[in-house]
Amino acid sequence: MSETTYPDEVPLQIPVPLTTLLENDCIEIIQRRKLVKLPVNPSIETILKNYFTYCITHANEDTNLPLLNEVLDGIKIYFDFTLKDHLLYSEEKEQYDHVIQQVNHVTSNCVDMEDKTANGDLEIKERRNSVPPSSIYGAIHLLRLFVKMPLFLSRAKFPSIQVHLLHQHFRDILSYLSNHLDTLFSTEYRISV
């Protein structure tokens, strides 16, 4: 019986054009005191959906679309849970709090008219769903997640075989991002307040 091994942090090679974008992002935020204009279009949710659609159109018999969908869902979940504490510069955290509060306030004031009572009358219900950060932030923040992902995976104690499988998916996504720089990285910065 073989023993499951858990690798230390396995590096993930970020393509040079994407590394350059990350370096420029750091300069804009730290040195020039600018913040990314939020919400970003396309959002991470949209990017991941578009990537999945792209993979469907380029799939072959070896493509495991259900597994790919799980990987993309996992990326979105990791992003939503790690953004504030691990992916934002300290200069961005106040903006995060403000934007999330604004977006969730608007969402909580929406009503859902779809539910009917037992007698058939429409019942108005307040939505309590919060808007995930992945629907507000864009590609540059997704890149920050990929920089940190090797550390996250090593701390989560994923077995080696799963880490290598995930890394292959990550490399494919990074390649997609690198090949679509013009449409995915139209990040605007504004002077921080």
- Specify the pLDDT at position 127: 43
| pLDDT tens profile 63-76 | 899 999 999 999 99
Q: Residue 125: what pLDDT?
A: 46
pLDDT recorded at residue 157: 85
- Which two tokens mark 92? 């961005």
Residue 98: both structure tokens together = 């403000």
Using 70 as the pLDDT threshold, list the residues of the chain that sit under it: 1-7, 106-129, 193
Q: Running DSSP on this structure, what letter comes out for residue 175?
A: H
Burial of residue 184 (CB within 10 Å: 0-12, 13-18, 19+) is: buried
What distance in Å separates the CA atoms of residue 106 and residue 130, rounded to the nearest whole number?
Answer: 10
